[in-house]
């Protein structure tokens, strides 16, 4: 028996939980449509990265696949079967949501359903907004097939000419315009996708060919997105990355999704042109694709269609008038986003930029917003004469170009920019402010689970520790020295730093729980993470379960561990919460014989996080913050409304308990709302 779940299949199970949110009638209508967009966007990235890896394994003829009885080719077939099954649920869900919109006098119409009185308005929109950004390409075997963009969607056009001649053409759907045109008439709303507006004008577009009939069917194309950064020492890293980003756009195709009503001759022409096989690379679907655009589906200013606003709460300790830096130097603070304000982080940097006692600001950046308040505050510190060091991770997948932009801008204004550690991604979330007071150096440190990104801080649930405790801040200083000078390998007592000591320390803490259980002492582990794939850690947790250690885990995404298996993991229970906010915080609580240890970390239980990235976690010393972490875990553990029980069969059944329905994220918000008053 395989005692672990395959990573790719577990990820598909996670995305099925996202699809469940679109199917949940208790979720507001437009939010359900947006969950379809999130599901679609997730699946695109899955194919670009994970399925691309499976494809490489197929080419290498790998017969041993972790967590799977079969070859890479068998796994690829299993993935396709699951995706096709989910595609059916997706299409049915979308059809149901379209019906619900109609019940609310909102109608999704296509080019065949448009009313005569609306044609002039739609045509005016086509000629003013779309006509000049559409460039049809005639396809024939005499010319090379055009290179297709990975993020784009296309209309494959079939043109019937006199004497039964047929031509094919290609139209890329413009990506800079909103996908949706809203028409209003007598208290009703009619939505047309620009795909259908183009279909309505196909005869106009191809008028010069005198067509008898023109039809168009949508498709999209997914390429391998892995960056191949070569080892040419004569080329600097930034140039290598820029070259690799260009090559990503030419990556090997891994998926072709198309309208299942596409004529067979047109479909076969496309597959032949792209060197694809219908039974291997293709996924038949509905009339519309690139559902990621539906993340921005309009809400029609109807409050019932969207989640009720939840204004981030104040943190009482940080609301006093003595300044953020001096407050944090006196008392550790835990911030929990989006329930509490992320503005405190930006304000802390702004204060550091103005404080004459502050000498330096150091930060490591993985993903930032395109128009980043954090980065602007960092620039302000540089303008005010502070020494500013930014460790910029250029290989944050799909954010590479954004990070390159900020790296160049920071350097223009004199900021020292360091591009991480060779062969290791810097995924930690650290900030260190150094100041001199009465000839004494003091530090304020930030250690978090999420990125310095004010945009994602509104939709990702993350936590961070703000501390002036020298036991921690002095070790954060060591991490920055390590990032500046890769030859150093310091000793850490209060921090868990990957790949230096984190995995070893976690295994040692699990082992201590095993020893305590064998001595009859209370032994328990509580873990909240995004993903668990690391075989060594999974095996150690199995060993702890077999020794009688009670293990409770909240795992949002991939879970390769099989919980609840007799004689293997019967003392392990795992739930997953998928809800309004993306669960992204990571922390651990070890019972430790009655003196619990609390760790906040940027790392998941994955080989890449433990062995191939710089990750930083910290022990929590404040009793008040320890109690807060207990509270967060226990509220989420009680969850039933949005919590699913993770099982070896990946059924995603809701975590029903013999208690009244309990909505964890709502209860956490209530907690912070009460705490802020």
Q: Which residues are catalytic?
A: 427
Evaluate the omega torsion of the peptide bond into residue 188 and state whether it is cis, within 30 degrees of 0: no
Which SS3 state, helix, strand or coil, does residue 257 take?
Answer: strand
Q: Let me know: does 596 contact 590? Beta carbons within 8 Å.
A: yes
* Interatomic CA distance for residues 472 and 634, integer angstroms: 26
Q: Cα dist. 363→43, 422, 462, 479 in Å?
A: 32, 18, 18, 11
Sequence-distant (≥ 6) Cβ neighbours of residue 506 within 8 angstroms: 496, 537, 588
442: its two tokens: 């003091």
Q: Please name every residue paired with 158 in a beta bridge, in sequence order, or none if there are none.
A: 168, 215
Give the contacts of 159 (CB within 8 A, at least 6 positions apart). Answer: 166, 167, 168, 169, 206, 209, 211, 213, 214
Distance CA 12, CA 83 (A): 8
CA 161 → CA 155, 166, 269, 270, distances in Å? 18, 6, 17, 19
DSSP β-bridge partners for residue 587: 528, 600
Residue 417 to residue 431: CA distance in whole angstroms: 14
Gap between the Cα atoms of 89 and 92, Å rounded:
5
Which among 70, 53, 42 is positioned nearest to 608, based on CA atoms? 53
Q: Give CA–CA dist 368/400, Å, rounded.
A: 11
Residues pairing with 527 in the sheet: 553, 588
Look-up of token digits 């229970």: 573
DSSP 42-76: HHHHHIIIIIHHHHHHHHTT---BTTBSS-HHHHH
Across 284-299, b (16+ Cβ under 10 Å) vs e yields bbbbbbbbbbbeebeb
In the 8-state DSSP scheme, what is residue 126? Answer: I
How many residues would you count in the chain?
677
Tell me the HSE value of 188 on the side-chain side, using a 13 A CA sphere: 13
Sorted by sequence, the CB contacts under 8 Å of residue 322 that are 6+ apart come out as none
Q: What share of the chain is helix, strand, coil (3-state, %, to 5)?
A: 40, 25, 35
What is the full DSSP assignment across 377-441?
A: HHHHHHHTT-EEEEEE-TT-TT-HHHHHHHHHHHHHTT-EEE--BTTBEE---EEEEEEEETTEE
What is the 8-class DSSP label of residue 561?
B
């Amino acid at each position: 028996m395989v005692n672990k779940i395959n990573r790719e299949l577990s990820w598909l199970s996670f995305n099925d939980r996202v699809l469940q949110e679109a199917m949940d009638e208790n979720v507001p209508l437009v939010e359900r449509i947006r969950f379809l967009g999130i599901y679609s966007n997730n699946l695109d990235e899955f194919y670009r990265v994970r399925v691309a890896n499976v494809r490489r394994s197929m080419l290498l003829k790998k017969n041993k696949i972790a967590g799977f009885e079969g070859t890479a080719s068998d796994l690829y077939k299993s993935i396709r079967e699951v995706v096709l099954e989910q595609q059916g649920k997706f299409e049915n869900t979308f059809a149901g949501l379209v019906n619900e919109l109609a019940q609310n006098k909102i109608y999704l119409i296509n080019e065949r359903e448009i009313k005569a009185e609306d044609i002039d308005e739609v045509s005016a929109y086509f000629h003013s907004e779309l006509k000049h950004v559409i460039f049809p390409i005639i396809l024939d075997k005499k010319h090379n097939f055009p290179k297709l963009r990975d993020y784009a969607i296309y209309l494959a056009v079939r043109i019937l000419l006199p004497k039964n001649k047929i031509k094919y053409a290609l139209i890329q759907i413009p990506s800079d315009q909103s996908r949706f045109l809203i028409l209003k008439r007598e208290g009703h709303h009619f939505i047309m996708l620009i795909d259908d507006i183009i279909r309505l004008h196909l005869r106009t577009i191809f008028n010069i060919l005198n067509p008898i009939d023109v039809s168009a069917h949508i498709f999209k194309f997914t390429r391998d997105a892995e960056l191949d950064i070569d080892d040419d020492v004569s080329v600097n890293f930034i140039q290598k990355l820029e070259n690799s980003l260009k090559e990503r756009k030419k990556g090997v195709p891994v998926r072709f999704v198309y309208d299942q009503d596409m004529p067979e001759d047109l479909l076969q022409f496309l597959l032949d042109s792209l060197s694809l096989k219908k039974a291997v690379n293709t996924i038949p679907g509905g009339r519309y694709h690139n559902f990621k655009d539906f993340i921005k589906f309009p809400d029609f200013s109807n409050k019932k269609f969207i989640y009720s606003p939840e204004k981030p709460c104040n943190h009482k300790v940080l609301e006093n008038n003595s300044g953020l830096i001096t407050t944090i130097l006196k008392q550790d603070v835990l911030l929990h986003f989006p329930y509490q304000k992320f503005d405190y982080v930006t304000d802390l940097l702004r204060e550091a930029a103005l404080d004459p006692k502050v000498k330096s600001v150091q930060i490591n950046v993985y993903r930032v917003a395109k128009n980043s308040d954090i980065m602007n505050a960092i620039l302000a510190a540089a303008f005010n004469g502070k020494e500013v060091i930014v460790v910029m991770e250029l290989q944050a997948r799909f954010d590479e170009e954004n990070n390159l932009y900020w790296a160049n801008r920071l350097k223009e204004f004199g900021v020292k920019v360091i591009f991480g550690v060779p062969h290791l991604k810097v995924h930690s979330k650290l900030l260190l402010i150094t100041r001199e007071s009465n000839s004494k150096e003091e530090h304020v440190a930030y250690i978090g689970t999420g990125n310095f990104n004010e945009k994602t801080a509104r939709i990702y649930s993350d936590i961070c520790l703000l501390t002036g405790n020298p036991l921690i801040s002095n070790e954060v200083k060591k991490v920055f020295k390590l990032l500046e000078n890769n030859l150093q390998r310091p000793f850490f007592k209060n921090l868990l730093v990957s790949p230096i000591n984190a995995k070893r320390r976690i295994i040692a803490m699990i082992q201590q729980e095993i020893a305590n259980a064998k001595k009859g002492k209370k032994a328990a582990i509580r873990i909240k993470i995004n993903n668990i794939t690391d075989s060594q850690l999974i095996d150690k947790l199995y060993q702890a379960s077999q020794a009688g250690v009670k293990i409770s885990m909240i795992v949002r995404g991939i879970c390769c561990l099989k919980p609840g298996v007799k004689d293997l993991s019967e003392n392990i229970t795992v739930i997953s919460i998928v809800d309004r906010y993306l669960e992204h915080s990571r922390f651990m609580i070890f019972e430790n014989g009655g003196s619990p240890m609390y760790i906040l970390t940027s790392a998941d239980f994955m080989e890449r996080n433990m062995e191939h990235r710089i990750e930083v976690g910290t022990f929590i010393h404040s009793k008040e913050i320890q109690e807060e972490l207990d509270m967060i875990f226990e509220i989420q553990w009680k969850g039933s409304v949005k919590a699913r029980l993770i099982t070896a069969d990946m059924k995603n059944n809701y975590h029903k308990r013999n208690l009244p329905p309990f909505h964890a994220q709502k209860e956490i918000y209530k907690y912070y709302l009460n705490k802020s008053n």
